A and B are shown apart, each in its own frame.
Chain A
Amino acid sequence: MAAITLIEAVTQALAYEMTHDPSVVVLGEDVGVNGGVFRATAGLSARFGEWRVYDTPLDEMGIAGVTVGLAAQGMKPVAEAQFEGFIYPMMEQIVCHAARMRNRTRGRITCPAVWRAPWGGGIHAPEHHSEANEHLFTNVPGLRVVLPSSPARAYGLLLAAIRDPDPVIFFEPKRIYRQYKEEVPDDGEALPLDVCFVLRDGSDVTLVTWGAQVKECLEAADALAAEGVSVEVIDVATLTPLDFDTIAESVHKTGRCVIVHEAPKTAGFGAEIAARLAEECIYDLLAPVERVTAYDVHTPLYRLEMKQMPSTAQIVAAAKRTLAAS
């Protein structure tokens, strides 16, 4: 078994599910012969043909609405938004139809669809190609928002997303698409949705994050460990519906929490987690909850984009502030 990157794990999951479920179709711009601008669908057109790996017209709104139609008529479409910055024309279909089809029809029509989008910054891309906008979807009822942070989780969570009977937004952190390889058995085993993954056990402080920022949080945990601080790292993975219990259990143990995300601070999803900690875990907290996030500014063009992104040093400093508070 060869080790694969996160983007290769996406391809492997798509191929597995298309092989085993004829109702799965992939659609989007350049997903066919070209194999996607990030190569997520490389080789799929040759294996499954042009109708199941469907090159659409250049029309994001159209892709989203056609995806709803496919899902409503018994297919399991996996649509690609080429970049998360181009997902806005899709939002009406996702919010007004995909997410509420089951509710509107009292379960008569459902929308088992997945929207994949390369997400976040850090690859020196042009304007509109580097946004972190998951919070725009996390307060839409009926919608799952999932972000994998490793090849194995990309494979297992994408399989789960495709098999889920409800619509899923699947944001792929493009900064770590090819960051490292790991062995991911192509066994069709899905990972659970709606569950946080505890990536590292610790007892002094909890780092809560998702997507590419898992990398910086694990680095921060290493740096703090060298100074004798025991850090727990949680990858939220499914933002909504949120598995708050795992976060609460961790904070009950550590008493300190730092939330790290690449999206802007105000009303980012970290705000929801911080509010829940205040509501449900205030007496467990030994220090104020810290948030390390992007600033409330537009994603800068690439000369400055890494300055906007939470750094390992910022995370370490925030963790130390929580330790100093008690």
Chain B
Amino acid sequence: MSIAASFEIEYLQYLDADGKLVRKDLPEFAKNLDHMVELYKLMVSTRVFDTKSIALQRTGKLGTYASCLGHEAAHVGVGSSMKPEDVLAPSYREYGAQLYRGVQPRDVYMYWGGDERGNDYQKEPARHDFAWSVPIATQCLHAAGSALAFKIRGEKRVAVCMIGDGGSSKADFYGAINFAGARDLPLVAVIVNNQWAISVPRRIQSGAKTLAQKGIAAGLFCIQVDGNDIIAVRKAMEDALERARSGKGGSVLELVTYRLGDHTTADDARRYREADEVKDAWTREPIKRLRAYLESKKAWDEKKEEAWKHECDEWMDNEVNSYLETKAQPIEAIFDYTFAELPADLQKQRALALSLEKGAH
């Protein structure tokens, strides 16, 4: 018997759970401690933002919200490695990536607070990124289509989609990586494996030993990464983006992390997972290890931590106030973006809605 094909999946880690380097070949970006501090600060601000969001929901000021607790290295690592001209197609909890690209906390609050204007990102490069995609994995195909647009136009841009471990079970994901592999489209598909798809654990989500290896079937480069180690995430992303940008094809990255919070504020994870498992996962969480590393390099300390957290609190308070002070859209807004030009029938329905607002019956 001969071997028709064989493969291996590399696992990449630089910082262990205690913040100790496990490899000596530190990537260039990681040698710049100022830059590492910037990444750390965004990871912390993302967590402050997340905490604030949950508090808003619990006090009735925000609708259902999907927390990103524990995903900070994965999300910030992805967002910070992309170039402005690249395109991000997120699902609905990758705030760390989006904040880096110019989405504002107030946008997130607006969206989960029931207002479409939250998707109307004002700042570049987020302005040309996709909006949150609630139907699982459907955004992977939008990224594949974007990658095809870049390839057709000869642009050196890359499309990045982000999904969860559950999302990697869907045909949309397989379809997207298959489209990319068939023609070497510049697509990077990032699976943020947080071990839980609402209540279904990774163990029974897929029989594959790694989720990364799903890309092998599509002919893509695949790697599994410690998703709580931002150096590893950044390095794997930079390599994948460079391969895609230079026409060498797409990648599938599996970022192994843990969903420390509930699926959303409408969920109670205590119903289906053991407290010990969560307690254990907290020992590997991403912020603690990066702080330990930066402190060992004398690049961070308790005083800076307190000052930055205070700054984040003020920033988020300002964002929350901006959100809460924004009045609901006028009734005509539900009509005005249905088509580029409002058809005659919709004009009549719009007039009816306006008259009802004014008290007519």
Contact A108–B141 (Cβ < 8 Å): no
- Which B residues are CB-close (under 8 A) to A70? 145-146, 148-149
Contact A107 B159 (CB under 8 A): no
If A57-B182, A62-B175, A72-B146 touch, whether A109 touches B87 (CB-CB below 8 Å) is no
Contacts of B178 in A (CB 8 A): 57, 59, 62
Known: A51-B152, A104-B116, A242-B345. A65 touches B338 (CB 8 A): no
Q: How far is the CA of A70 from the CA of B131 in the complex (A)?
A: 15
Contacts of B147 in A (CB 8 A): 69
B207 sits at the interface (CB 8 A): no
- List of A residues within 8 angstroms of B120 by Cβ: 105-108
Interface residues in chain A, defined as those with a beta carbon under 8 Å from any beta carbon in chain B? 25, 51-52, 54, 56-57, 59, 61-62, 64-75, 77, 89, 92-93, 96-97, 102-110, 141-142, 164-166, 194, 241-245
Q: Are A69 and B148 in contact (CB under 8 A)?
A: yes
Please indicate the chain A residues that have their CB under 8 angstroms from the CB of B133 in the complex. Answer: 97
Cα A241 to Cα B342 in complex, Å, equals 10
CA distance A80 to B127 in the complex (A): 30
Determine which of A54, A65, A97 lies in contact with B175 in the assembled complex, contact meaning CB atoms within 8 Å. Answer: A65
Let me know if B151 is at the binding interface, CB within 8 A: yes
Tell me whether A108 and B172 are in contact in the complex, defined as CB-CB below 8 angstroms, given that A65-B145, A93-B138 are known contacts. Answer: no
- If A61-B171, A106-B120 touch, whether A69 touches B338 (CB-CB below 8 Å) is no
B340 within 8 A of A: yes
Minimal beta-carbon separation of A91 from chain B (angstroms): 11
Query: Given A69-B143, A102-B339, are A92 and B138 also a contact pair (CB < 8 Å)?
Result: yes
Question: 6 other contacts beyond A65-B144, A70-B146, with CB at 8 A cut-off?
Answer: A51-B152, A56-B179, A73-B128, A97-B133, A142-B338, A241-B339
Question: B150 to chain A: which residues have CB within 8 Å?
Answer: 73
B210 within 8 Å of A (CB atoms): no
Q: A66-B179, A74-B149 known; A109 and B131 CB under 8 Å?
A: yes
A124 to B224, CA, bound (A): 51
Tell me the chain B residues, 108-150 only, with Cβ under 8 Å from chain A: 116-117, 119-121, 127-128, 130-131, 133, 135, 138, 140-150
Residues of B within 8 A of A141 (CB): 338
Which B residues are in CB contact (< 8 Å) with A62?
141, 144, 172, 175-176, 178-179
Q: List 25 A-B residue pairs with CB atoms under 8 Å apart, sorted by A's residue number.
A: A57-B175, A62-B141, A62-B144, A62-B179, A65-B140, A65-B172, A66-B141, A68-B145, A69-B143, A69-B148, A70-B149, A73-B128, A75-B149, A92-B135, A93-B138, A102-B338, A102-B340, A103-B116, A104-B119, A104-B131, A105-B116, A105-B120, A107-B120, A141-B338, A241-B339
